[in-house]
Amino acid sequence: MDGYLEWRAKLRPGESVLVLCATGVAGQLAVQLARHLGAGRVVAAGRNPRVLAGLPALGADAVVRLDQPDDALRGALREAAGGADHDVVLDYLWGHPTEVLISTLGSADMELRFSRTRLVQIGVMAAPVLSLSAEVLRSSGLEIVGSGTGNAPPAEVLARQLGRVLDLLADGGPRLEVSRVPLTRVREVWDLDQRGRRTVLVP
């Protein structure tokens, strides 16, 4: 998790971070780690309103409901960014939600400006493909990288990241929204991840 922020996104203290699919387990961890690593602003986006409501207590400065019409979602993402593009986006969704986000980054005017939005592609909860506008790439500072087995950080970086996670644990975190269910209900709850609830299966 730390590798997404440090190794791939190259997060610097004070920068802003948007987490797409922040209501999942990985997303909840990402919100807390972004804050722990010194992010200046953390925005959490997801579908589950109950989990979203708890994310400010975990470090989110703003939350965005993803299950709204595209125009409303664009407005909400812009408002949550606080007047500037996000420096880092951790994307566990891809597909249409990411397309909507990317559409907020481009500019139609001819004003010269410099900005960088480093989008780290991690998961495909929404879809494995998206449509990418060439115009947005030309008129924004969007940079897209992936995070997976083909670009893992070297051992010394992994060791440093583990140390930071241990520091977070020592500080009393991370905290997660979970529901405990018996293994006998595994068939019943198997699809709950897709709806934003998270479960821990116990005997």
State the sign of the Cα–Cα–Cα–Cα dihedral 97, 99, 100, 104: positive
pLDDT per position as a tens digit, 124-161: 999 999 999 898 888 888 999 998 777 777 777 777 77
Lowest mean pLDDT across 10-19, 54-63, 101-110: 101-110
User: pTM of the predicted model, to two decimals?
Assistant: 0.82
pLDDT value at position 51?
A: 92
pLDDT value at position 71?
A: 97
Residues ≥6 apart with Cβ < 8 Å to 78? 104
